[in-house]
Amino acid sequence: MLILHNQCYDENNQLNSIVAVFGVGLIGIHLVQTLCKHSYKVTNRLPFSWDKPALQTNESSMIHHCIHDLLKTGINDSSHTSNSPKKIDFVWSAGKGGFNMQDSETQAEIASFSDVLELAHTLAREYPSCMVRFHMLSSAGGLFEGKRNVVNNTAPCAKRPYAAMKLKQEQILDSCGDMIKFIYRPTSVYGFAGLNHRMGLIPTLLWNGSRNKVSSIFGTPDTLRDYVRADDIGSFITHKILSKTSGSATFILAYGKPSSLFEVFRHIENILNKKLFCHYIKDGDNTEHSTFNITTYPADWSPVCLETGIRKTLNDIFSNSGYVQ
């Protein structure tokens, strides 16, 4: 996990802002990058052992100690005091298990989530004048799998252990009535976080297509999905962190225009100017359509279109992998 810190001036007052990010995968990496563009600096890289609960007590204590020290930090300026406004934002973007995780894998992740939530509660009790907010990455793709034209009041339907786990985490967070909470439900997320991370459909097609390699596809060419780019999500969460919002909310982060796998292939072939080679693997669990109504858009959500997002992803791959097209 990472702790980021930003001491800035807000209307001539010092604002001591701390962000604790649990899970620096596809979305977490883009969130951290966007925060750093807004003058946040990574102050601590600390362990948090998802699969070793016995270690988590000491690790949570270390995280607590680091945040405590940052809250006591003041700008070396006599015109500002340690009583200036402070806020802590916890971000849960973690997840060792993917969309196809087994039920036996969910309990450890739910327990880790609960431990981090308790740490947020502890700091809120210790610093009653400090704004403490909790941001949770859920999954619209999981919660609404197989549903068409999803709107904000559509009831979730968890078909897999992964979705049931996300719904349980939402319920645990929602039961914390005294906590300011933001729940983000992104649809099918794509982007590039590095070759050592899970690539996902679009980066894999770009990577294999640029090297004339065959990609294995679970599903059928007409399967409809709603694709959103990871750095758009990172920017949206950053906006919420920078804000003074104190009212809890749940957001569906969708593009609002579904695309079939065939459309994705066509965009990538046009961008690469190459033919894609794909091997389809029949998987009845991955052929259902999932679509979202554009009315789900939060007021300040502005995702890029799929073609633009794919071009940006290709640029990220070539810029960060050392590969020359």
Flag whether 173 is in a domain: yes
Flag whether 296 is in a domain: yes
d(CA 197, CA 95): 12
Mean pLDDT of the chain: 89
> Bigger pLDDT: 97 or 288?
288
DSSP track, 19-84: EEEE--SHHHHHHHHHHHHTT-EEEEE----TT-HHHHHHHHHHHHHHHHHHHT---S-TT--TTS
In the chain, the percentage of residues whose pLDDT exceeds 70 is 91
| CATH code of 57's domain | 3.40.50.720
pLDDT of residue 321: 59
With beta carbons less than 8 A apart as the criterion, state whether 87 and 124 touch: no
Give me the number of domains the chain comprises.
1
pLDDT confidence bin for 283, thresholds 50/70/90: low
* pLDDT of 81 above 60: no
Question: Of 170, 195, 237, 192, which is closest to residue 4 (Cα–Cα)?
Answer: 237
pLDDT confidence bin for 13, thresholds 50/70/90: low
pLDDT confidence bin for 75, thresholds 50/70/90: very low
pLDDT of residue 76: 42
d(CA 25, CA 34): 14
pLDDT confidence bin for 78, thresholds 50/70/90: very low
Task: Reduce the DSSP state of residue 138 to 3 states and report it.
Answer: coil
Flag whether 260 is in a domain: no
Taking CA 87 as the corner, what is the angle to CA 24 and CA 78, rounded to the nearest 5 degrees?
A: 120
pLDDT of residue 194: 83
Flag whether 273 is in a domain: no
pLDDT of residue 199: 84
pLDDT confidence bin for 146, thresholds 50/70/90: very high
Q: What are the pLDDT digits (tens) for 16-61?
A: 899 999 999 999 999 999 999 999 999 999 998 877 777 888 999 9
Flag whether 11 is in a domain: yes
Task: Identify the domain containing residue 135 by its residue range.
Answer: 2-194+227-255+290-303
Flag whether 214 is in a domain: no
Flag whether 178 is in a domain: yes
* pLDDT of 238 above 90: yes
Least confident stretch, 62-66, 126-130, 225-229, 262-266: 126-130
Flag whether 317 is in a domain: no
The CA R_g of the chain, rounded to the nearest whole Å, is 21
pLDDT confidence bin for 254, thresholds 50/70/90: very high
